[in-house]
Amino acid sequence: MKVKKTKNNKRKIISLIFLFITTLFLYDQVFVQADEVDGNLADLQLTFDEHEAGVWTVVFSPNDTLVASSSIDSVVKIWDRNTGDVMQNLEHPYGVPALAFSPDGKMVATGCYDGLIRIWKIQNGELINKTKIDNGTIWGLTFSPDGNTIAAGGVKGKVRLWNYETNEEKYLAGHSEGDVWSLAYRSDGKVLVSAGHDDTVKVWNASHGKLIHNISGHTDAIVSVAFSPDGKTLASGSDDKTIKLWDANNWELLQTLSGDSECVYSVAFSPDGKTLISGSRDKKMVGEILQYHLRYNGLSNAVTV
């Protein structure tokens, strides 16, 4: 599925999650032998197999005990990170491309095809707040590090900043064409990045909204971005089937990972920075969640083990 050339087709992927390489099955989990990616060892460890359609977004909880995933199947699932058990099912009327944990780990925000941002309590699955974004489908969203603001991206290349406690709003415009697929704040709260249909990552001053840098290097739409917990590395996942790692100070390319077989819908670092998880699909249009144990040799600004 090509993000740049399809519209409604991406909403119709009906599938079960599984891995496409040699696996050892045990109950509902899949353990995979180590795989070599660009000369660096990446151990594929676990699969989560309850979604009935392609996985859009995967994120770790701040305390590293949960994983949340959103899907075209209209359900957000909260998983036990270690066992793969489902802790909560958050039902939506349509597919859910966007998902983010609050910094305190007590809430999760979701962005849906219906243009609504919803905020849920993790403990009991209660819907506690929602708002309509005026530029249609919400493809990406993230909380600011202080937990007061949600940045959301959708159609027409705009980024919306919403303070969900005061209802104050601000819009950032900089992507030249198409949709804004994903956003991420650096851990210091000073920088916000947005990934777009125009094959670029925009780097914004989070305080006043000024565009300070353009990152280019992918050859197709950039669908997901995530900072490492220490704020030194930015990961970007693209429709060009690669994950790129960037220095989050000078924005130079550190490394390219090419283990995914198709568009990389989502990337996320674990809170300890030792694991990168990606949500994708294979050529049979089956949703898959891959978990990598990362060892980056010789990259002083990348995640180290």
Higher pLDDT, residue 21 or 253: 253
User: Average pLDDT for residues 44-51, to the nearest whole number?
Assistant: 71
| DSSP one-letter code for 299 | -
* 90 CB-contact burial (10 Å; exposed 0-12 / middle 13-18 / buried 19+): buried
277: which strand partners? 268, 291
pLDDT at 45: 64
Q: How many helices (H) and strands (E) does the chain have?
A: 0, 27
- Of 53-67, 220-234, 274-288, the least confident: 274-288
- Residue 35 · residue 77 · CB < 8 Å: no
Whether residue 289 is predicted with pLDDT greater than 60 in this model: the reply is no
- Of 44-53, 208-217, 293-302, the least confident: 293-302
Q: Give the 3-state DSSP-derived string for 216-265, with helices as H, strands as E and coil as C.
A: ECCCCCEEEEEECCCCCEEEEEECCCCEEEEECCCCCEEEEECCCCCCCC
Angle (CA) 81 85 87, round 5° = 90
Query: Which residues, 6 or more positions from 236, have their beta carbon under 8 angstroms from its beta carbon?
Result: 195, 201, 215, 218, 222, 224, 225, 243, 244, 246, 267
- Of 10-24, 31-45, 81-95, 286-300, the least confident: 10-24
Smallest Cα–Cα separation from 31: which of 15, 10, 41, 45?
Answer: 45
Higher pLDDT, residue 197 or 33: 197
pLDDT at 208: 85
Give residue 168's identity as a one-letter amino acid code: E
User: Average pLDDT for residues 78-90, to the nearest whole number?
Assistant: 89
Residues in the chain: 305
Whole-model pTM: value is 0.71
Q: Which domains does the chain have, with CATH numbers?
A: 9-293 (2.130.10.10)
214: which strand partners? 202
Higher pLDDT, residue 177 or 159: 159
**Percent of the chain having pLDDT more than 70?**
75
